[in-house]
């Protein structure tokens, strides 16, 4: 079975102490993860070492950065490089979240550079793609997300792209309380996998986890994750509530 991943994205939330307690509460549930099931916590930079330390004795629990810079190093005050993350033994990094695309003007070409740097530093990119409401309403979401994949990932050889995790974000469903129906989620996830298959073949496409990232909650996770092409979720608000994220982890196939 493909990797099934519950990925928490804390965004810019929680004090250090609140973050510690949140992790303690989640780990206190003692959810044993089988070989193909993973829990990943994308926390603010100042909390990475604390999170890694909290998780290091746990099976298949990992810390993730929420971003990295698209240059290897240099005069970029306030930025963090993939090499720095690797030096801290961070295994995952979110790349191209819709908020960074919108508020930080991140382009598909820039994200291709980030993906390269993550992979060079043995970090698994969680690559985000997805369409805004206007694109969904126009019915052109397939072309939109296919372009995101092609321009940011399809320069990679097949042996390398297998190390990517993709997170589909219906931007119109993030923080709005709206959620794609299970049918909509499965349809677009299946389409994304078909685009990868057309480029790399079905065997490789079937190895890549594709997470759903639009208002995943404790009460809809099991239904969403039951879709054959939905391999878990990239979870925002619900990941900040221990009881909710515990149920989301348990909902993994």
- Active site amino acids: 97, 169
Q: Which two tokens stand for residue 177?
A: 């309380």
CB burial of 32-50 (b: ≥16 within 10 Å; e: otherwise) equals ebeeebbbbbbbbeebbee
Q: Where are the beta strands (DSSP E) in 103-197?
A: 124-129, 165-168
CB burial of 75-107 (b: ≥16 within 10 Å; e: otherwise) equals eeeeebbbebbbeeebbbbbbbbbbbbeeeebe
Which DSSP string do the residues of 58-73 spell out, in sequence order?
STTEEEEES---SSSS
């Amino acid at each position: 079975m493909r990797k099934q991943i519950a990925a928490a994205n804390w965004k810019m939330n929680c004090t250090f102490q609140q973050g510690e307690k949140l992790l303690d509460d989640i780990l206190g549930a003692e959810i044993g993860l089988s070989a193909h099931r993973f829990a990943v916590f994308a926390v603010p930079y100042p909390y990475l070492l604390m999170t890694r330390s909290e998780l290091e004795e746990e099976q298949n629990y990992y810390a993730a950065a929420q971003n990295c810079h698209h240059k290897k190093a240099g005069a970029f005050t306030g930025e963090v490089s993939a090499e720095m993350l690797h030096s801290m033994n961070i295994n995952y990094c979110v790349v191209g979240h819709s908020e960074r695309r919108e508020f930080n003007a991140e382009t598909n070409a820039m994200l291709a550079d980030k993906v390269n740097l993550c992979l060079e530093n043995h970090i698994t990119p969680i690559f985000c793609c997805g369409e805004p409401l206007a694109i969904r309403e126009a019915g052109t979401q397939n072309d939109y997300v296919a372009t995101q994949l092609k321009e940011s990932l399809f320069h990679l050889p097949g042996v390398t792209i297998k190390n990517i995790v993709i997170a589909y974000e219906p931007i119109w469903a993030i923080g709005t309380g709206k959620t794609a129906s299970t049918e909509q989620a499965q349809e677009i996830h299946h389409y994304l996998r078909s685009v990868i298959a057309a480029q790399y073949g079905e065997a490789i496409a079937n190895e890549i986890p594709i997470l759903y990232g639009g208002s995943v909650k404790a009460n809809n996770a099991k239904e969403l994750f039951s879709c054959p092409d939905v391999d878990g979720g990239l979870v925002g608000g619900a990941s900040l509530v221990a009881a909710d994220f515990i149920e989301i982890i348990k909902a993994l196939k």
